[in-house]
Amino acid sequence: MTKKSLSLRWLEIFQLISKLGSIQKVAAETGLSISTVSNHLRNLEKALDVELVDHSRRPMGLTPAGTVFSRHVHDGLMALRRGEAEIRSGSWQHATDLRLGLIDDFDSRVAPDLFRHLSANLPRCNFRHFTRPSPEILEKLQSQKLDAGVATRPSGHAEGLIEYPLLRDPFIVIIPPSYNGPVEDLTRSKNALPLLRYSRDQTIGKLIEMQLTRSKINLPNRFELECNQSIIGLVAGGSGWTITTAASYYRARRFHQDTRALPFPGKSFARTVSLFTTNVYPTTTTRLIHHTLQALIRQHVTDPMTTRFPWLDDEFRTIPAPPE
């Protein structure tokens, strides 16, 4: 008896089940009905004549055979996706699709020039640009809903992603001109001028809180905001002071004349902004994006900022690309 050929769709569904542990979640992820997802799994198990999933467990677990098979399915699907990407854009001049996510630090100046440059060098490419917070960009990359993304490096490992560092972005202190005391006094809880915090749901807010904890700085949490422009605007109005990055401060240029920028007191710290891709996306196109971004960040962000604030020169800089 001839065995039934395996369907690519069955394998994709099985991979999702092994990842999500629930037929209901797979149905929600794919837009298929629960019965359709179940049928795909059942057909795969019949074709292989083996149970791959332990249906008695919640969340659903793989059988020993399913665990072994899932590794081969993962590798096989990855190879197919890599092959598709290479066929579609094996040479960067022939790239046909680019879904690129950017954090909003580069949305106004860098992004327009980036897409003008890429459109000239990738004449057949269709572009889709998304502005999202760093965690969402990384999540969409991991679920293959983006091809490349510019985001702040997370504190933990970015599973399944390839990182190309772009920018060392130091944290600095922003104060209103009316404040005349030592900047060190701001870090003492008795100071009357409050710290305007970034939301702790944001990567930048988490990095700031980690450094405050390491520095044993414990300040009241009266104000916590998500919008960079609002925070710098409140500082300009004399409502408080803040800790931000050089790139974030540069983005709020309309408030520069009403604020003062100073180095962070104590040990300096910085975030790393990187270009992230997966091993599916062609490296030739990735390198084109990376080199273009580095040049544009220098032109539009680091050079103007370090010209105005020379004390940032050694701290605020693009990171050299690794040798090819």
3-class DSSP assignment, residue 73 = helix
Q: What is the C-alpha to C-alpha distance for residues 102 and 119, in angstroms, rounded to an integer?
A: 17
Residues 157, 9: Cα–Cα separation, whole Å: 30
pLDDT of residue 1: 41
Which of 56, 88, 120 lies at the terminal end of a domain, its last residue? 88
Pairing of strands 126-131, 223-225: unpaired
Domain span at residue 25?
A: 8-88
How far, CA to CA in Å, does 181 sit from each of 191, 192, 216?
10, 11, 21
Element counts in the chain: helices (H) and strands (E): 11, 12
Does residue 250 share a domain with residue 180? yes
Q: Which of 88, 120, 143 is the last residue of a domain?
A: 88
199 plus 132 within the same structural domain: no
Of 88, 104, 139, which residue is a domain's last? 88
Question: pLDDT truncated to tens, each residue of the chain (324 aa)?
Answer: 445 678 888 888 888 888 888 888 888 888 888 888 888 888 888 888 888 888 777 777 888 888 888 888 877 777 676 666 655 544 545 567 889 999 988 877 899 999 999 888 888 888 889 999 999 999 999 988 999 999 999 888 888 899 999 999 999 999 999 998 898 899 887 788 999 999 999 999 999 999 999 999 988 888 999 999 999 999 999 999 999 999 999 999 999 999 999 999 988 999 999 999 988 787 888 888 999 999 999 999 999 999 999 999 989 999 987 666
Q: What is the per-residue pLDDT for 247?
A: 96
Q: Tell whether 144 and 213 lie within a shared domain.
A: no
Kindly report the CATH number assigned to the domain that includes residue 129: 3.40.190.10
pLDDT digits (tens, 9 = 90+) for 17-62: 888 888 888 888 888 888 888 888 888 888 888 888 887 777 778 8
In this structure, the answer to whether residues 81 and 103 fall within a common structural domain is no
Reduced to 3 states (helix: H, G, I; strand: E, B; else coil), residue 296 is helix
pLDDT at 221: 85
pTM of the model: 0.72
317 within a domain of the structure (yes/no) = no
Let me know whether 42 and 179 are in one domain: no
Instruction: Report the domain count for the chain.
Output: 3
Q: Do 208 and 254 share a domain, yes or no?
A: yes
Instruction: Say if residue 111 is in the same domain as residue 22.
Output: no
Long-range residue pairs from 293-297, CB within 8 A, at least 24 positions apart, any chain: 293/106, 293/110, 293/114, 293/150, 293/166, 294/166, 294/318, 294/321, 296/109, 296/110, 296/113, 296/114, 296/117, 297/106, 297/110, 297/166, 297/167
Residue 54's CATH number: 1.10.10.10
- In the 8-state DSSP scheme, what is residue 181? S
3 domain-assigned: no
Residues 66 and 47 in one domain: yes
Instruction: Return the beta strands (E) in 8-71 as ranges.
Output: 53-54, 61-62
Specify whether 173 is located in the same domain as 150.
no
